[in-house]
Amino acid sequence: MKNIEYVAILFNLLLSYYVDGKVLIFNNVSSLTGMYRDAQADFGREIPQTGIVGLLDLAKPLNACTPLKNSFPYRQYVYGNIFLLAEESTSQTTCSYEQQAQNAQNAGYAAIIVYRRNGYEDLVTMDGEGPAIVSVMVTRDAGNSLKQSLYPTRSRIKITAEIELPFQLYLIPFVVVISICFFFMLLFSLGRYCRFRIRERRSRLSPANLKKIPTKKYTKEDDYDCCAICIEDYEENDKIRILPCNHAYHCKCVDPWLTSGKKVCPVCKQSVETKKKKKKKKKKKRNSSRSLDRASTSSAPPSEGDGEETSADEGGEYDTNERTPLLSSTDNARPSGAIDV
């Protein structure tokens, strides 16, 4: 579930990149040099979907709480919109956001960008009534960058709108991610269950093999006297099952043990499988080990020592390898003092 939460958080972060409004900075050659998140105020006109572009001027005084003393040297019909950059006031009781925006509107600015006084504070939505110009808030870091992009630098500022995406855009990717995670969890659980069932079947005795274990009706002449499972004496004509280890039990007692428990004797823990089946398993293991040995021997390159030993034999009758004994049977039979003539 933690993975699902991480994916959802990442998706929301990526989505917020396109949903939140932005303040973009372009230099005099139309190259993007900065992009900062903003928060639009409750008052003022709506930002067009394409955004608004203009030049930036710094407020005088900086907080724009009193009528502005700016003397912007460019005409609006030549350079388009003119925005005002102001610092957040120290107290909203003495100077509200609405008052700052009203002073900017009275001075002829098309929009006001207010940046926060403290760098650790997040953006807030400025509330109020009256001013009709576009009003947005940015962080302190964004304000410091905007101060370096005022109208003397010929940098252009673009304010974009906050786009409200439909609910389906959030819901569909979330459902897809949840469905994929659920599918993999189901696949993993199914695999574990199948492995458990296979392991369980291997440890139990199948009904077909259970029928191969002989049964008989108890008589007084038999050597068995008591069932070790139910601790009851055998009675005449009781159906008992005799395991390969020669231990006998009631069929009603030992059959559930063998088919639902383990295929061993309850007393001596000896396997109840027939000898033929054991021999088949051993033979199968032996054949597989031999095939592996042959494959490893054939794939290994011949060493230099092997070629020398083969050429040292007189008739070339023996092929030597790492398993060849140092003394052959003919060498052992030859007397120690014998000399070849």
CATH code, 235:
3.30.40.10
Highest mean pLDDT, choosing among 2-6, 124-128, 144-148: 144-148
pLDDT at residue 302, as a whole number: 53
Q: Is residue 70 part of a domain?
A: yes
Residue type, 281: K
For residue 213, give the DSSP letter: S
Domain enclosing residue 229, as ranges: 207-261
Whether residues 152 and 52 fall in one domain: yes
Please report which helix (H) or strand (E) contains residue 145, including its range: helix 140-147
Mean pLDDT rounded to a whole number for the chain: 77
Averaged over 244-248, what is the pLDDT? 89
Token reading at 9: 């958080």
In a domain, 239, yes or no: yes
Question: Are residues 246 and 124 both part of a single domain?
Answer: no
The confidence band for 202, taking pLDDT boundaries of 50, 70 and 90, is confident
Least confident of 29-38, 57-66, 144-153, 163-172: 163-172
Model-level pTM greater than 0.85? Answer: no
Please compute, for residue 191, the number of CA atoms within 13 A of its CA located in the half-sphere on the CB side: 6
172 inside domain:
no
In this model, does residue 184 exceed pLDDT 50?
yes
Write down the pLDDT at residue 274. 62
Distance CA 19, CA 225 (A): 86
Confidence of residue 314 (pLDDT cuts 50, 70, 90): very low
Please state whether 321 falls in left (phi above 0), alpha (psi between -120 and 50) or beta.
beta
CB 105, CB 132: distance < 8 Å: yes
Looking at per-residue pLDDT, the higher value among 231 and 277 belongs to: 231
Does residue 216 share a domain with residue 154?
no
Residues 159 and 225 in one domain: no
Same domain as 218, residue 160: no
**Domain identity same for 116 and 226:** no
Query: In terms of domains, do 236 and 124 share one?
Result: no
Final residue before a domain boundary, out of 226, 261, 296: 261
**Is 148 in the same domain as 212?**
no
CATH number at residue 106: 3.50.30.30
* Average pLDDT over every residue of 107-126: 87
Q: Is residue 257 part of a domain?
A: yes
Whole-number pLDDT of residue 115: 94
Q: Is residue 273 part of a domain?
A: no
For residues 31 and 125, membership in a common domain is answered with yes
Question: In the chain, what is the greatest distance between 2 CA atoms, to the nearest angstrom?
Answer: 131
Counted domains in the chain: 2
Task: Give a yes or no: residue 187 inside a domain.
Answer: no
- Quick: pLDDT tens for 51-106: 899 999 999 999 999 999 887 665 554 567 899 999 998 887 788 999 999 999 99
In a domain, 337, yes or no: no
d(CA 232, CA 221): 17
Q: Are residues 218 and 97 in the same domain?
A: no
**Could you report the per-residue pLDDT of 302-312, keeping only the tens digit for each?**
544 444 444 44
CB contact at 8 A, 177 and 15: no
112: confidence class by pLDDT, cuts 50, 70, 90: very high
Q: Is the pLDDT of residue 188 over 90?
A: yes
At 311 the pLDDT is 41
Residue at a domain's end among 147, 167, 187: 167
Most confident of 67-76, 189-198, 330-339: 189-198
Task: Give yes or no for a contact between 57 and 83, defined as CB atoms under 8 angstroms apart.
Answer: yes
Query: Considering only 72-86, 142-156, 206-220, 320-334, which range has the smallest mean pLDDT?
Result: 320-334
Q: Specify the higher pLDDT residue, 186 or 14.
A: 186
Over 70: is that where the pLDDT of 123 sits?
yes
What pLDDT was estimated at residue 324? 52
Q: Is the pLDDT of residue 145 over 90?
A: yes
Say if residue 221 is in the same domain as residue 81.
no
Which spans in 107-249 are helix H? 140-147, 167-203, 207-212
Given 238, 261, 284, which residue is the final one in a domain?
261
Looking at the fold, whether 215 and 78 belong to one and the same domain comes out as no
**For residue 303, is it within any domain?**
no
Cβ neighbourhood burial of 111 (10 Å; 0-12, 13-18, 19+): buried
